[in-house]
Amino acid sequence: MSDKKIIIYTPEEIEAMRDVCRRASELLDFITPYVKVGVSTLKLDELMLEHTEKVLEAKSACLNYCPSGMTPYPRATCISVNNVICHGIPSEKKILKNGDIVNIDVTIVKDGFYGDTSRMFIVGKPTIAGKRLVEATWGCMWAGIEAVKPGNCFNDIGIACQKFCAPLGLSIVHEYGGHGIGRVFHGEPHVSHVPLSIPTAKFEPGMVFTVEPMVNAGKRHIMDLNDGWTVVTKDRSLSAQWELQIAVTETGYDVLTASAGMREAPEWVKGWKKPVF
């Protein structure tokens, strides 16, 4: 096991990161009233790009993002509807309709630090199945986050997420996970939301990473669309995801992507309470 590539940030760096992370969360607060029947996902993306640059004085980290071997990501945000697991590309042809479940995932960069967070939205009148999946995925993310404290290791996140989802008959995507983040968008370690049989690093104060489980109503298997980015469920079942960026503290964790409009943590969460903004 090697954890030497995981960066430990100083308290000052974490405060700088908290600033961009709060702005990322505020970007989701901003877009919330626009997520309505009839709007295109491209319109939402354009509104968020303008807000990022003009109000938050930050940049989109996604626009033109180009990991090696990939085509540049063409938009400022990812908007993933229904059976889209992640990396949905905003499009003027994708019009939101009643009952859709929608993940909006934003990553912004300011003063050299990245803030990455996503939320689920339900358009119009929720369906029973959509609401159930969205709520279960919220619980799954928090179950994973609650495993974060010095002494535990990254594998404890996947164990907790799996323990939460399995009794509900929901499946967790294996191929994508959370990631170290800070001065880089995607750094070490990869954060699995399912248990791994290989050793994982222990949590240490100053580590910063995301927890962002993708949970499918059907089977876990994924399929790529031919646009180079969009990932969908192979069985076309609904998929949901929430994402927060957290820092490890001496006693547990701190949520960096917090803002006035975010949800309160579930009542069973012990390690964190939404601050007053």
Binding residues for ligand MF3, per CB under 6 A?
A: 62, 65, 73, 78, 87, 105, 107, 116, 212, 229, 243
Count, in order, helices (H) and strands (E) of the chain: 4, 15
The entry of Co ion, ligand MF3, none near residue 83 (CB within 5 to 8 angstroms by kind) is none
Separation between Cα atoms, residue 123 and residue 72, nearest integer Å: 29
Please report how close the Cβ of residue 107 comes to ligand MF3 at its closest, in angstroms: 4
Report the candidate in 221, 243, 223 with the shortest Cα–Cα distance to residue 231. Answer: 223
| 99 vs 187 by CB, closer to ligand MF3 | 187
Alpha helices in the chain (DSSP H): 11-31, 41-54, 128-146, 155-165
The entry of ligand MF3, Co ion, none near residue 62 (CB within 5 to 8 angstroms by kind) is ligand MF3
Under rule CB under 5 A, residue 21 binds Co ion: no
Please report how close the Cβ of residue 25 comes to Co ion at its closest, in angstroms: 12
Please report how close the Cβ of residue 19 comes to Co ion at its closest, in angstroms: 18
Report the candidate in 226, 185, 233 with the shortest Cα–Cα distance to residue 65. Answer: 185
Separation between Cα atoms, residue 47 and residue 133, nearest integer Å: 27
Report the candidate in 256, 259, 161, 247 with the shortest Cα–Cα distance to residue 208. Answer: 247
| 44 vs 78 by CB, closer to ligand MF3 | 78
Please report how close the Cβ of residue 78 comes to ligand MF3 at its closest, in angstroms: 5
Under rule CB under 5 A, residue 241 binds Co ion: no
Structure tokens at 60: 């989109």
Sequence-ordered list of residues with C-beta below 8 angstroms from that of 268, at least 6 positions apart, any chain: none
The site string for Co ion over 63-102 (x = CB under 5 A, - otherwise) reads: ----------------------------------------
Q: Which stretch binds Co ion (CB under 5 A): 2-10, 121-129, 187-195, 202-210?
A: 202-210
The entry of Co ion, ligand MF3, none near residue 73 (CB within 5 to 8 angstroms by kind) is ligand MF3
Under rule CB under 5 A, residue 192 binds Co ion: no
Under rule CB under 5 A, residue 116 binds Co ion: yes
Sequence-ordered list of residues with C-beta below 8 angstroms from that of 194, at least 6 positions apart, any chain: 158, 161, 162, 172, 174
